[in-house]
Structure 1
């Protein structure tokens, strides 16, 4: 039930969740739905360590006064299994009936996996190891504890029914997936996002751009004109708004457009459109210390160039859809021209790379402290990723991944 002054709607009908809330300060929207939608009384809050020290967290606590039974201050980057299990056992002990996250990235993925682990009595490393997506564990139970996400980045994990978490011993990031996983409510508040560091905000925006670009370039039979329209709309919302935010940090209209663009970027996910090598490699760069969005900044331009070089006529034609969006939007086209990019000669890798540079984000593996000696293990782990075979040029051999990694090295 919507509050007065709130816009409240399903993100991906007919999917039953998540609902989206806009138009109200995040703390008021959260308090309203805790009471009137979820009828919850024992809240477990997972807050980023940095936000926990701010007035924004104080506002959330005040709005939920008397209902919070537990608080977790941060989850380490890329969601280590050990962190997940610490929270799972804490929530079990405190008998929480709702999880609220204030933050992004690891918190969002963590909450999904935590709810799934609780539903399946996974309280140890051994029992958690039976839940990742490649496993064929029978009779998995759906999530039962609902989740409210209040995101402070554009990474978009709140809209998917998958989550990544890293096995500490191997440094491999595993994907957990179940139709019941994910947020029940996502509260979007552009004002809250102003406190997010610039590099995190813009780079996670590039992650959403990556969803759109790899989606438009997908050769999957699950692609459709309607899904392409969503990806195109997402790019038209995201890219000009990211350019605006770069020069006008407090522009809340641009921020809300970016948040709405993230939703469009993930409509294909609900339809089963797979991603490609930028996502596959990105999953493995995370555990070696590369920020969630920065993986897209570094890898996407090089993956596009690799696919154009080795792809057939259809693969090259699909990239044309990306070029059309970039050159049809005057604000984007003006940026490209200012960087010496020509509409007659540029490929999709060139225009995406120019955008990354314009946003002041890293372009090479060396920019994110990934050295040549790490490439071999990165390639090994990438070959195990679910998006590796669904790249427009399927990566069937480790040498193919290594070629892309070397392109991105320096």
Structure 2
């Protein structure tokens, strides 16, 4: 049930959750739905360390009052199982009946896994091991504790029924998936996002752009008219408004359009369209300390270049759809022209790379601390990722991975 002045609706037409809320300050929205939608009274909050020290968190605490039974400040990067197990026990001890996250990244994945684990009586590392996707659990119980996510980035993890978390005994990042996993409600508040550091906000936006571009360029049979319409809509909302945000940091209208661009991208991604080598290589850069958004900034232009270099007319035709969308947006076209690109000669790698540069984000691996000495082992790890095989030009040999990595090895300047 919507509150007065709130816009409240399902994120996706093909599933019942999550719902999206816009139009009201997040503390008001959160308090309303805890009582009136979920009929909960014992809220457990997982908040990022940085936001826990802000007025935004104080406002949430004031709005919820004595309905808060527990607070966890921060989950370490890549969602360590040790952190997850500590929170599982705390939520269980406090008999919480709803989980709220204020932040993004590991908090989002952590909350999904915590709700799933609680439903399946997890108490230790071995119990968690039995729930991983690799373990193929038989008839696991669905999540029972609802989750409200209040995201502060554009990463979009709150829209998926998947979580990644790191087994701290082996440092292997395992996947967990179940249709019941994920947020029940996502509260989008552009005013809150103004406090997110620029590099995190803009790079996470480029992660969403990566979803759109690799989705539009996918050669999979699952990539049909519906998915391409969603990816195109997302791209039109994301790129122009990210450029606006870079120049007008407090523009809440542009921020809301970016948030809705993420919804469009995740809606299309939810139709099962596989991603390509930018995502596949990016997965392996994460353990080297590179943020997901920054992996897209670096890898997407290079992968697009690789695909044009080695692909056929169909590959080039799909990239042309990306070019038509971006050149068709006045805000984007102005930037591309100012950066010396011409519509008749620039390929998709050039165009996406120019957008990344305009946003002031990294273009090379050296800028994020990944030196050439790490590329050989990185290439070996990348070949294990299934999305390299679903790249428009399948990447199945180490020399192909190294060719892509060599384009962006760099020393602070892109070598594309």
C-alpha displacement of 1:177: 1.7
Contact 2:226 2:268 in 1 (8 A): no
C-alpha displacement of 1:170: 4.8
Distance in 2 of aligned mates of 1:355 and 1:260: 20
Label 1:117 to 1:385 Cα distance change in 2 as closer, same or farther (>3 A): farther
Label 1:384 to 1:143 Cα distance change in 2 as closer, same or farther (>3 A): farther
SS of equivalent residue, structure 1 residue 409: coil
Residue 167 of structure 1 corresponds to 167
Distance in 2 of aligned mates of 1:388 and 1:244: 33
Superposed CA deviations along residues 165-197 of structure 1, whole A, max 9, x for unmatched, are: 233455443332211111000000000001001
Count of aligned pairs: 410
1:401 aligns with 2:409: no
Residue 372 of structure 1 corresponds to 372
1:325 aligns with 2:325: yes
Contact 2:301 2:353 in 1 (8 A): yes
Label 1:138 to 1:399 Cα distance change in 2 as closer, same or farther (>3 A): farther
Q: Which moved more, 1:14-23 or 1:119-128?
A: 119-128
Q: Which moved more, 1:174-183 or 1:127-136?
A: 127-136
Superposed CA deviations along residues 313-336 of structure 1, whole A, max 9, x for unmatched, are: 222211111111111111111100
Distance in 1 of aligned mates of 2:160 and 2:327: 30
Unaligned runs of 5+ in 2: 411-416
Q: Which moved more, 1:304-313 or 1:147-156?
A: 304-313
Unaligned runs of 5+ in 1: none
Label 1:403 to 1:119 Cα distance change in 2 as closer, same or farther (>3 A): farther
C-alpha displacement of 1:9: 0.4
Distance in 2 of aligned mates of 1:172 and 1:184: 28
Residue 244 of structure 2 corresponds to 244
C-alpha displacement of 1:132: 2.8
Aligned pairs for 1:218-233 within 5 A: 218-233=218-233
Indicate the RMSD between aligned Cα atoms, in angstroms.
Answer: 1.4
Superposed CA deviations along residues 199-247 of structure 1, whole A, max 9, x for unmatched, are: 1111111011011001101111111112111111111111111111101
Superposed CA deviations along residues 93-139 of structure 1, whole A, max 9, x for unmatched, are: 22211110000111111111221222223332222223332332222
Contact 1:172 1:284 in 2 (8 A): no
How high is the TM-score relative to the length of structure 1? Answer: 0.97
SS of equivalent residue, structure 1 residue 64: helix
Label 1:369 to 1:100 Cα distance change in 2 as closer, same or farther (>3 A): same
SS of equivalent residue, structure 2 residue 99: strand
1:270 aligns with 2:259: no
C-alpha displacement of 1:343: 1.2
Residue 350 of structure 1 corresponds to 350
Label 1:337 to 1:396 Cα distance change in 2 as closer, same or farther (>3 A): same
Label 1:357 to 1:169 Cα distance change in 2 as closer, same or farther (>3 A): farther
